[in-house]
Amino acid sequence: MPQKSFETRARELASAFAAKDYERCSHLLPQLKVTLSQLNILVPRLSSDLELLAVARDILEIGALTAIFLRDDLLFSRYIAQLSPFYAMKDKIQPPSSNEKKVIALRLLLLLSKNDIAEFHTELETLEDEADKDVYIRYPVMLERWLMEGSYDKVWKATTQRSEVPAEEFAIFADILVDTIRSEIATCSEKAYPSLPLMNAKHLLFFTEDADLVEFIDQRGWSTKDGRIYFPQESTDPLESGLPMENIIENTLGYARELETIV
Amino acid sequence: MPAPESKEPKMDNKDEKMTDADTVQKPKSPEEITALVLNDIKQNFVFLDKAAVNFEPRFSMRVLRGLGNLRRRLTPDILVSTVDAAYPSPSHKSAALILKYLGKEESTMEVDESSSDSSTPVVLPEIDIYVLVLLQVYLLDQGDLVKLNSFNDEAITILRGYNRRTLDALAAKMWFYYAYGKELNKQVVELRPLLLAVLRTSTLRHDTETRAMLTTLLLRNYLHTQAISQAHQLVLKVDFPESAATSVVARYLYYVGRIKAIQLDYSAANESLIGAIRKAPQTSYAAGFLQAAHKLKVIIELLMGDIPERSWFREPMYEKALSPYMDLVKAVRIGEVPQFSDTIEKYGAVFKKDGTYMLILRLRQNVIKTGIRMMSLSYSKISLRDICIRLHLDSEESAEYIVAKAIRDGVIEATIDHEKGFMQSKEILDIYSTQEPNMAFHERIKFCISLHNESVKAMRYPMNQHRVELKNVEEAREREKELASEIQEGDMEDDDGDFDGL
C-alpha cells in the first residue's frame, strides 16, 4: 500500500513541477523524502533496489530545482549534498538523468555567485571534459573564465540577454551576478582611472537610470565634482610610511634565537 | 650523448658494491647466475635476522633498497630455491601458498612430511614477509594481474596475523603492492574502507612506516577518482609522520602539492613540490616520479606568474617528457592567446593523460596578463584600440575592462584615460627602496635555518660509542695530569738551577 501511494505522490510531484506550482512541490517533498528513507533509498547503497534509486534521484532533482525557483540557497545545497552519492554511482542507475547536468551547472553557478572559487575549481576537476560539450555546464565555466580575465561586458551580455542563458533557472542568478560584476568593476575603476565623467561611468557600470548611479556612488564613497567622479587616491609613496623598524627588529631577533637554540 | 654518460658512473657503483655479481659485464651460465642471486637473497635473510634481533630498522631498509635490483633477476627457479632455503618444510602455510602460485606444487611435494611432526624451527616473520613480497613483485612484473590480486588477498591475511614493529618497513611495501594491484585491476573504490581500517590500526600501534605508506596510498586512491575534497579532508585530519622513509614522504608531498594546486593555493603547492623533488632520490630509478613532479611544478610556476627556468628542460632525464610543457611555457611567455590555444589543442591528449589539463586551462588568464604586462612595460602610452588588436581581444570595451582588472590585481602600474582612450604606464619605481629585498632575504634565511635544524636533528651517533669516548677522555685526562705534574717538577728543578747560576 505505501508503495502505491508513493508512486502516485511521485507522479503528483512531477506534474506540479511541470505546472510550475512550486509551493505545492515544496509541500509534497518532505513527505516523499520520508517515504524514500523508509524504503531505504534515500541514501543509495549497493544493496538498494536499482529501479527505485532512479525514482529517488528524480525526486531529489525536482526538489533541487524547486529550491532554485524559490531562491532558497541552503535548501538547494542540502539537495545537492543528498544527490552527490547518486551521481557517484551513475553507471549503475538507469536510465541516466536528463537533469543531472543542469543541476551540476546550477551548483557551479551558485558557487560562482558566492565567489567561492576554490570549491568551484574542485567541482570542475571532477567534471573533466564535459565542460566543453554540455551546454549547461559550459555556461558557468565560460562565466568564470570571463570574470577572471576581466571581460565584464561578456559576462553582462551572458547574464542579461535571454538568448544566451540556457535555461530559466540560470536567469535567477542574474541579479546576484550583476551585483558582483558591478562591485568588481567599481574596485577596478578606483585603481585604474584618475577620474571619470558621469556619463561614461553610467555606461561602464551598466546602469540605465541616473538615480541608480548616484546611489551607487554614495555607497562606494566617491566624490563628484563638475560632472566627474573623483576616486579617493591612496598615497603610494613608500618612503613616507617610514622605515619598517618593527618588522626588521622582529626578524633579526628571530634569527638570533634560532641560531642559539640547541636543537 | 648525454644519456649513456649519466648511466655509466652508476654502473660502476653497482660493480663496486657487488664484486661477486659480475652479471652486468660478463655473461655467465644460468646456474651461476642463479647461484649468485640466491647468495644475495640469503645475505638479505641474514640482514633481516640482525634487524629483528637488534631492533635496527636500517637493516630492513637496506634489504628493501636491494629489492629494486633483485626484482629484475628473479625467475621461478630462484623463487623455488628461496622457498626451500627460507621455510623448513613446504607444508608451511606461506611456502605452500607461494608454491601454488608459482605452479610448482607437484614437484616439491615429495619432500618428507615427517618433518612437520618434529619441532620445526620457527620461520622468522621478517623472512616470511620478505619472500611474500618477492613473489608479489615477481607476479607484478609478469603482468599477471588476476594471479597477483588473489595472491595479494591471501598474503595480506598472513601479514595481518603478525604484530611486530620490526616488520614495519616490509609491511609497508606489501601494502603498496597490494593497493597497486587493486588499482591496476580497477577495484579502487572498494579498497578504501580496508585502507582506512588498517590506517587506524597502524596509528594505534604507532607503526610509522605503515601509517605513512597507507596515508599516501589513500591520497592516491582519492586523487585517482577525483575525490579531491575527500583527499583534502584526509590531509587536514591525519598527522603525517615526518620520520618515515624519505621516498614515502616525497610521494606524500607530491600528492599534497597536487591537491593544493587544484584548490588554487599555488604558493603552498609550490613549497610542497619543491620538498618532494628534494626528498626524492636523484638517480635514474626515480625518473618517473621526478618527471611527474617537474611537470606539475612547471604548471604551478606558470600559474603563479613566474616563468620556469629554461635550464631544467635541457636535462637529459626530462627533455623528452617535458617537451610539450616547454612549448606551453613559450606560448605563455609570448602572451598571445591564439598561440596558447593552439598549443593546448596540439598536446591536449598528453596533458589529459598527465592529469594537468584542467590546471592548464586556468593559464588562459595568465597569458593575457603577460601580454598586458609586456605592453605596459614597452609603451609609455598606448591606445586601447591597439591593445585590443595586439592581444587579439574581441572588442575595445573588453580591452578596457581587462586592463582595469589587471591594474587592480597589481600586474601593471598604469592609469587609463577613458575619454581619450589610452593607457598610460607609471614610472618604474626603484625596487631597492622598497621592502622587496628585505623580504626575499628573510625567506632565504628562514629556509637555511630550517635546513640547519633538520640536519642537526638527522645526525646519527652509533649507540654506546660515547661510552668509548668517555673512557678515552678519562685516560687522556689522567695523562694530562701526569704531564702537568712532570712539568711542574721539571720547573722547580730548573728554578733551583737558575738560582745556582746567579
B270 vs B29, which has greater pLDDT? B270
Note whether A187 contacts B: Cβ–Cβ < 8 A: yes
Q: How far apart are CA A100 and CA A98, in angstroms?
A: 6
Closest by CA position to B76, among listed B113, B52, B107: B107
Note whether A81 contacts B: Cβ–Cβ < 8 A: no
Taking the CA of residue A18 and the nearest CA in chain B, the distance in Å comes to: 34
| Domain C-terminal end among B308, B334, B361 | B361
Residues B18 and B146 in one domain: yes
B246-262 vs B266-279: helix crossing angle, rounded to 10: 160
Residues B339 and B401 in one domain: no
Residues of A in contact with B445 (CB under 8 A): 255
In this structure, the number of other CB atoms found within 10 A of the CB of residue B429 comes to 13
Residues B132 and B21 in one domain: yes
In a domain, B84, yes or no: yes
Taking the CA of residue B147 and the nearest CA in chain A, the distance in Å comes to: 26
A197:B362 CB<8 A: no
Q: b vs e for B456-495, b when ≥16 Cβ sit within 10 Å of the residue's Cβ?
A: eeeeeeeeeeeeeeeeeeeeeeeeeeeeeeeeeeeeeeee
Q: Is the pLDDT confidence value at B493 over 70?
A: no
Residues B156 and B291 in one domain: no
Residues of B in contact with A251 (CB under 8 A): 438, 442
B228:A151 CB<8 A: no
Q: A110-124, A163-177, B118-132, B416-430 — which one is most confidently predicted on average?
A: A110-124
Say which DSSP state B219 is in: H
In a domain, B402, yes or no: yes
Q: How far is CA B2 from the centre of its chain?
A: 24
| Domain region containing B22 | 1-186
Counting residues of chain A whose pLDDT is more than 70, the rounded percentage is 83
B402:A150 CB<8 A: yes
Extract the C-alpha cell encoding B324: 610539450
Note whether A151 contacts B: Cβ–Cβ < 8 A: yes
Closest by CA position to A167, among listed A90, A249, A92, A69: A69
pLDDT score recorded for residue A128: 67
Q: Which amino acid is located at B329 in the chain?
A: V
Closest by CA position to B295, among listed B317, B268, B265, B279: B317
In a domain, B203, yes or no: no
Taking the CA of residue B253 and the nearest CA in chain A, the distance in Å comes to: 19
In a domain, B443, yes or no: no
In a domain, B229, yes or no: no
Residue holding cell 546602469?
A207
In a domain, B473, yes or no: no
Q: Is the pLDDT confidence value at A255 over 80?
A: yes
In this structure, the number of other CB atoms found within 10 A of the CB of residue B344 comes to 19
Extract the C-alpha cell encoding A5: 501511494
Q: How far apart are CA B101 and CA B87, in angstroms?
A: 16
The mean pLDDT value of chain A amounts to 77
User: For residue B325, with 0-12 CB atoms within 10 Å meaning exposed, 13-18 middle and 19 or more buried, which class applies?
Assistant: buried
The structure's pTM equals 0.74
Residues B327 and B291 in one domain: yes
Residues B333 and B263 in one domain: yes
Q: What is the mean pLDDT of residues B95-103?
A: 74
In this structure, the number of other CB atoms found within 10 A of the CB of residue B17 comes to 10
Residues B37 and B171 in one domain: yes
Note whether A46 contacts B: Cβ–Cβ < 8 A: no
Number of domains within chain B: 3
Bridge partners (DSSP) listed for residue B382: B423
Closest by CA position to B296, among listed B285, B280, B284: B280
CATH number of residue B393's parent domain = 1.10.10.10
Tell me the pLDDT tens digit for each residue of B191-243: 888 888 888 888 888 888 888 888 888 888 888 887 888 888 888 888 888 77
Note whether A124 contacts B: Cβ–Cβ < 8 A: yes
| Domain C-terminal end among B140, B156, B186 | B186
Residues of B in contact with A249 (CB under 8 A): none
3-state secondary structure of B226: coil
CB A188 within 8 A of CB A150: yes
Residues B324 and B395 in one domain: no
Residues B272 and B403 in one domain: no
User: For residue A241, with 0-12 CB atoms within 10 Å meaning exposed, 13-18 middle and 19 or more buried, which class applies?
Assistant: exposed
Extract the C-alpha cell encoding B190: 572498494
Taking the CA of residue B456 and the nearest CA in chain A, the distance in Å comes to: 7
pLDDT bracket for residue B2 (50, 70, 90): very low
Tell me the pLDDT tens digit for each residue of B54-95: 777 777 777 777 777 777 777 777 777 777 777 777 667 777
Extract the C-alpha cell encoding B444: 632565504
B69 vs B416, which has greater pLDDT? B416
pLDDT score recorded for residue B430: 67
Q: How far apart are CA A62 and CA B94, in angstroms?
A: 56
B394:A189 CB<8 A: no
* Nearest neighbour of B408 by CB, restricted to A188, A247, A255: A188
Taking the CA of residue A103 and the nearest CA in chain B, the distance in Å comes to: 19
In a domain, B8, yes or no: yes
Among the residue ranges A60-74, A162-176, B175-189, B336-350, the one predicted with the least confidence is A162-176
Taking the CA of residue A47 and the nearest CA in chain B, the distance in Å comes to: 14
Q: How far is CA A12 from CA A5, A18, B179, in A?
A: 10, 10, 48
Mutation target vs A (from B351, B418, B439; most A CBs, 10 A cutoff): B418
B419:A197 CB<8 A: yes
Residues B339 and B407 in one domain: no
In a domain, B150, yes or no: yes
* Nearest neighbour of A187 by CB, restricted to B408, B417, B456: B408
| Domain C-terminal end among B390, B411, B431 | B431
Residues B302 and B357 in one domain: yes
Q: What is the mean pLDDT of residues B159-163?
A: 78
How many helical (H) and strand (E) elements, i.e. helices and strands, does chain A have? 14, 3
pLDDT score recorded for residue A45: 67
Among the residue ranges B57-71, B179-193, B394-408, the one predicted with the least confidence is B57-71
B449:A255 CB<8 A: yes
A149:B364 CB<8 A: yes
Residues B34 and B164 in one domain: yes
Q: What is the mean pLDDT of residues A37-64?
A: 74
Given CA atoms B22, B28, B31, B33 in this order, what sign does their dihedral have? positive
Residues of A in contact with B357 (CB under 8 A): 128
